[in-house]
């Protein structure tokens, strides 16, 4: 497979990138972002681009992909809805709408979140915006699109969150998270499970377009 990856410098994206590079069925991973990934690998191509809203200059480099894993996002803490919507909805749809006609055989996987509001009309801002984003993505003419809704994601293999207070929580709870994950698979997953589950749906698909946390653990358990 040939994989296009957005958000490879973030916690989830780094975990997804690791699983893609380890997978013998992945031939190439192209990371697109404003900053370099910071690692080298024979399968990895790092494409730096300042304005992800405008990808026209990269058109010839974004052709022929089997899947796009969109892991780019921000926390809604302290953000007003307009600013959060611009990153979460506007940017995601700008990228996806550009890719869909170029790669009609592509599977698009979007990292959403547990509790996302599919009606897009609820009172919780982030859940409402994420819900509208999911709904818009599902209407685009990809071969398939999957909305991943992880809950708590445990970073693995030395990966760290770029958000300081998230990382502090992971550091404090790290010793007990593996035990809690076995007891409560509906609420806890890992960066490794997320990456492997994305590869699984890109290869074989899944019965539902919305992939909840326990589905991620099931699909990524290999």
Q: What angle do CA 109, 14, 82 make, to 5 degrees?
A: 60
Tell me: the pLDDT tens digits for 27-49?
A: 999 999 998 998 999 999 999 99
Residue whose entry in the numeric block shows the structure tokens 């900053």: 35
Q: What is the pLDDT of residues 75-117, one digit of tens each?
A: 888 899 999 999 999 999 999 999 999 999 999 999 999 999 9
- Residue 172: its pLDDT value, please? 52
Closest C-alpha among 151, 161, 107 to residue 127: 151
pTM of structure: 0.90
Q: Which residues contact 172 (CB under 8 A, 6 or more apart)?
A: none
Beta strands in the chain (DSSP E): 2-6, 28-33, 44-48, 67-70, 107-111, 144-149, 152-154, 188-190, 210-212
User: Tell me, what's the pLDDT at 154?
Assistant: 85
Q: How many CB atoms lie within 10 A of CB 162?
A: 11
pLDDT in tens, 114-161: 999 999 999 999 999 999 999 999 999 999 999 999 998 888 766 655
Predicted local confidence at residue 165, as pLDDT: 46
Q: What is the pLDDT of residues 177-196, one digit of tens each?
A: 665 556 666 788 999 999 99
> 45-57 pLDDT, tens per residue?
999 999 999 999 9
Spatial distance between the Cα atoms of 91 and 207, rounded to a whole number of angstroms: 27
Instruction: Note the pLDDT of residue 156.
Output: 78
CATH assignment of the domain containing 88: 3.40.50.720
**Cα(74)–Cα(43) distance, integer angstroms:** 27
Q: How far apart are CA 119 and CA 102, in angstroms?
A: 29
Give the total number of structural domains in the chain: 1
Q: What is the pLDDT of residue 160?
A: 58
pLDDT of residue 113: 96
The whole domain housing 25 covers 2-219
């Amino acid at each position: 497979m040939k994989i296009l990856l957005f958000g490879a410098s973030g916690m989830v994206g780094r975990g997804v990138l690791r699983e893609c590079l380890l997978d013998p069925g992945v031939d190439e991973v192209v990371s697109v972002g404003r900053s370099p990934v910071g690692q080298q690998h024979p399968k990895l191509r790092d494409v730096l681009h300042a304005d992800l809203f405008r990808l026209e200059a990269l058109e010839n480099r974004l052709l022929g992909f089997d899947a796009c894993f969109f892991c780019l996002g921000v926390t809604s803490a302290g953000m007003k809805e307009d600013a959060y919507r611009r990153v979460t909805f506007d940017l995601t749809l700008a990228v996806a709408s550009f890719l869909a006609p170029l790669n009609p055989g592509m599977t698009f996987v979007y990292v959403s979140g547990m509790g996302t509001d599919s009606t897009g009309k609820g009172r919780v801002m982030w859940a409402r915006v994420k819900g509208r984003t999911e709904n818009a993505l599902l209407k685009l003419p990809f071969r398939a699109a999957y909305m991943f809704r992880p809950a708590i994601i445990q970073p693995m293999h030395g990966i760290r969150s770029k958000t300081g207070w998230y990382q502090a929580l992971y550091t404090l709870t790290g010793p007990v998270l593996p035990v809690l994950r076995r007891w409560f698979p509906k609420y806890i997953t890992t960066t490794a499970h997320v990456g492997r589950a994305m590869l699984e749906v890109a290869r074989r698909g899944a019965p539902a377009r919305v992939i909840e946390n326990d589905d991620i653990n099931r699909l990524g358990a290999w």
